[in-house]
Amino acid sequence: MSRTCFSPAAPSLLLTLLLTLLAASPLHAQDSVWRYRVQDVVPKGEPGLLILFPEKDVRDVTIELTAGKTRQVLKRGNLGGGAEHRVNFKTPPGKAAWHARITARTAEGPTSMEFDFEVAALDDLVIKLTGDTNLPTGRVVLVANRPLKSADVVVFDKSGQEVVNTQVDLAGTGAGAPTTVSWPATGPDIRRVDLRLTDTFGLWSQLRAVSWYAEVPHDDVIFESGRWDIRESEFPKLQRAIAAVNDELTRFREELGHEAATDAALFVAGHTDTVGSNGDNQSLSEKRARVIAEYFRKNGLKVPVYYHGAGEHGLAVETGDNVDEARNRRAVYVISNAPPGVGAYAAGGWRRL
């Protein structure tokens, strides 16, 4: 949760829970003896389920199920009236149309019923987040293994307050193709988005994307002109920065949980003023960012550390060319769960030590 004025990018973390519901058809009735229900969707490899509710006692029950060239005959003997009786049968992968014929005898004589139904034997609904996701601008881009129907979207800000609660129609989206779920942009304070994504079979999967981006306050290391080695007099600044980074990591874990915190990393970006050529400043900023990152790594920082040179891009104080502005000679330390990717860092280029 950033409490600074730094403008965050769009880091995100996917926690896929894969909570699926098995759909069932409504209860059907036929003549004065039979009622039934069929489970419309089952996990691939699992048996189908036909539930029978005879109104009265029946005996010599035979169930004949046909789907294309597949035929199954199931004997169930006697079934008590007024009770639920569950019948399992083999289901092929995918969606199949079935015809059922059930025969039996009651005390009054023969009874039968016939009906058609469909069963879809499916893999789990699997949804993955893509790199185009940007929570602050109100966008999650994902890929699903089946067409989606809708998304229920709940958005929370850095204080944990719900700021958006809406449903997005996803009809017409295709399996395996990027699908965008969007909501009104709410700015950089967004920290979590919960989505319940429903496919065209009525199954759903819950996805949580969390965004953490916090700039760590610190005293900047002062380098000699044109150099990138750290003078010993600057070490106390870096020791204090390590303590601040660890404090931020503790807050990260407390607010997002240890599972989310496994993706936390420190990103060190170097910046220069506008004195000198763009190429020289780019190289200098990268070398300075790297030597700071190396110091953090060698002095006990436990999370992954990345570095990046931004050169003259992303000036803290806008100046013309060849202006000696000390406030632009700085480094930025960010705790995040994804590489910064906007503004001065839009081109990427983060390198891990």
Cβ(100)–Cβ(28) below 8 Å = no
Which CATH number belongs to the domain containing residue 87 in this structure? Answer: 2.60.40.1940
Domain limit, last residue, from 161, 194, 210: 210
**pLDDT the model gives residue 30:** 58
Both structure tokens of 13: 């973390």
Q: Binning pLDDT at 50, 70 and 90, where does residue 89 land?
A: very high
Same domain, 235 and 150: no
The amino acid present at 51, given as its one-letter code, is I
347 and 284 housed in the same domain: yes
The single-letter code of the amino acid at 237 is K
Q: Is the pLDDT of residue 250 over 70?
A: yes
CATH code for position 145? 2.60.40
DSSP state of 90: -
Closest CA to 328 of 290, 250, 271: 271
Residue 10 has pLDDT above 60, yes or no: no
For the chain, give the percent of residues with pLDDT over 70: 87
Distance between CA atoms of 337 and 252, rounded to whole angstroms?
10
Residue 125 corresponds to which tokens in the numbers above? Answer: 């609904």
Instruction: Give yes or no: residues 46 and 158 share one domain.
Output: no
Kindly state whether residues 147 and 272 are assigned to the same domain.
Answer: no
Q: Which of 34-43, 260-269, 292-301, 321-330 has the lowest mean pLDDT?
A: 260-269
Which pLDDT score, from 0 to 100, does residue 262 have? Answer: 60
Q: Which residue has the higher pLDDT, 63 or 248?
A: 63
Q: Residue 82, SS3? A: coil
Same domain membership, residue 226 and residue 187: no
Domain that holds residue 204: 16-20+124-210
Out of 16-20, 45-49, 223-227, which region has the weakest mean confidence (pLDDT)?
A: 16-20
Mean pLDDT of all residues belonging to the chain: 84
Q: What is the pLDDT of residue 307?
A: 95
pLDDT, greater one: 61 or 30:
61
State percent of the chain over pLDDT 90: 51
Query: Which distant-in-sequence residues (6+ apart) come within 8 Å of 275 by Cβ?
Result: 281, 322, 323, 324
144-189 pLDDT, tens digit per residue, is: 999 999 999 999 887 788 999 999 999 988 899 999 999 987 776 7
Q: What is the structure's pLDDT at 264?
A: 80
Output DSSP code: residue 186: -
- Please count the structural domains in the chain: 3
pTM score of the predicted model: 0.59
Rounded Cα distance between 35 and 266, Å, is: 62
pLDDT digits (tens, 9 = 90+) for 111-146: 999 999 999 999 988 898 886 777 877 888 999 999
C-alpha to C-alpha distances, 203 to 59, 96, 143, 180, nearest whole angstrom: 36, 17, 16, 19
Task: Give backbone dihedrals phi and psi of 4, rounded to 5 degrees, phi first.
Answer: -115, 175
Q: Given 67, 94, 122, which residue is the final one in a domain?
A: 122
Q: Residue 290: CB partners within 8 Å, gap ≥ 6?
A: 228, 307, 351, 353
- Phi/psi of residue 230, each to 5°? -90, 125
Cα(305)–Cα(301) distance, integer angstroms:
8
b/e string for 110-141 if b means 16 or more Cβ within 10 A? ebebeeebebbbbeebebebeeebbbbebbbb
C-beta separation of 143 from 126 below 8 A: no
Residue 260, classed as helix, strand or coil, is: helix
For the segment 184-201, the average pLDDT, to the nearest whole number, is 84
Band the pLDDT of 56: cuts 50, 70, 90. Answer: very high
Highest mean pLDDT among 20-34, 228-242, 335-349: 228-242
Residue 2 lies in a domain: no
More confident residue, 69 or 16: 69
Distance CA 124, CA 198 (A): 12
Answer whether residue 2 shows pLDDT above 50: no
Once rounded to an integer, what is the mean pLDDT over residues 9-32? 44
- Locate tokens 């949980």: which residue? 257
